[in-house]
Amino acid sequence: MPSFTLAVSRFCERWRIWVVLLELHGLPRSCSDVTRMGEPVSPSAHFDRLSVVWPRENFLKTKSESGGVMRQLTFIEPGKLEWWDVPAPKIVAGTDAIVRPLAVARCDLDYSTIIGSGLQGGPFAFGHETAGEVVEVGDQVTSVKVGDKVIVPFQISCGTCDNCRQGWTNACKSVTRGAVYGMKPICGEEFGGALSEFMHVPFADHMLVPLPDDIRPEVLAGGSDNIADAWRTVAPHMDKYEAPSVLVIGSGRGIGLYALQIALARGAKRVVYAEIGKGGEAMRMAKEIGAEVQQVPSAS
């Protein structure tokens, strides 16, 4: 069965740390304010791939040890991110939970934002695709407990309002419209980000998706957003046909690769991955996963 481990975070056994792969291809060399482990990165560094590293023992603390302060990767402006010390989140309502991110996947929009073609209007907390560990729960939370590994959806919703019950969780009436983690400009309100020591999760019974014991957090960190997008694009339609052929038109980004993996796993007879313009790493990965690949000339 195809694996979902491609193009997400990885676990480094040698140093016992989670490595967050932002895959910032072409990041400007003037990005001297990006930090790794809280230390400035040399402006002369070549950012083919920037890794933000979180040591398990020294950097990640429990809430009580952190003294009410945590570290947060903050987007300032294109090409500039900083580690900030900010107040650690607290339980506000009985339905809340606090989650410690263990693995973070890089969304296509993260990359676009960093190079200047995505979200603007920093500073804001960064990162929104994550799997983590529950470290605290409110007294009304029943579906998860401290120590559970969970996926945290990037969109914040209550699960009980009219819109949520119809599946329109992106238009939840209980929170600011468009409420999301790691992308303040979308809704105008800061809800924190996944590239932080802790995240505040309201409506925990609805929001948090428990991870099976045999799946490591980095495998499904993208389940917060990209994997879910790929699933709803492909899976419901696969159920209507027996062993269909599937065409995935990719753009060199992760959702297309997830979509073709889901199609194969759901029994597609044939999956064709088409890349418009120059073929690259995504086409190589698509072929490795098991798809036929086609490079389509761009209109220009």
Phi, psi for 287 (deg, rounded to 5) = -65, -40
pLDDT tens string 173-201? 999 999 999 999 999 999 999 999 999 99
| Residue 109 in tokens | 């929009």
pLDDT tens string 152-178? 999 999 999 999 999 899 899 999 999
Phi, psi for 227 (deg, rounded to 5) = -65, -40
Region 120-143: mean pLDDT is 96
| CATH top class, domain 10-224 | alpha beta
Can you give the pTM of this predicted structure? 0.75
Q: Among 106-110, 133-137, 206-210, name the one with the lowest average pLDDT.
A: 106-110
pLDDT averaged over every residue in the chain: 79
Full DSSP string of the chain: ---S-TTS-EEETTTTEEEEE---TT--TT-TT-EETTEEPPTT---SS-EEEEETTTT---TTTTTTEEEEEEEEETTEEEEEEEEPP---STT-EEEEEEEEEPPHHHHHHHHTSS--S--EE---EEEEEEEEE-TT--S--TT-EEEE-SB---S-SHHHHTT-GGG-TTS-TT-BSS-HHHHSS----SSBS-EEESSHHHH-EEPPTTS-GGGSGGGGTHHHHHHHHHHHHHTTSSS-EEEEEE-SSHHHHHHHHHHHHTT-SEEEEEEESS--HHHHHHHHHT-EEEEE----
Domain extents in the chain: 10-224, 228-296
Region 201-209: mean pLDDT is 98
b/e sequence 74-111, b meaning 16+ C-beta within 10 Å: bbeebbbbbbeebebbebeeebbbbbbbbbbbbbbbbb
Residue 265 clears pLDDT 50, i.e. is over it: yes
Task: Give the integer Cα–Cα distance in Å for 224 and 216.
Answer: 15
Give me the pLDDT at residue 278, please.
72
Strand ranges of the sheet holding 51-55, from the earlier edge strand across to the other edge: 10-12, 17-21, 51-55
Q: Which of 79, 87, 82 is nearest to 38 (CA)?
A: 82
Q: Which of 51, 118, 107 is nearest to 78 (CA)?
A: 118
Band of residue 300 on the pLDDT scale cut at 50, 70, 90:
low
CATH topology of domain 228-296: Rossmann fold (3.40.50)
Task: Give the integer Cα–Cα distance in Å for 130 and 112.
Answer: 18
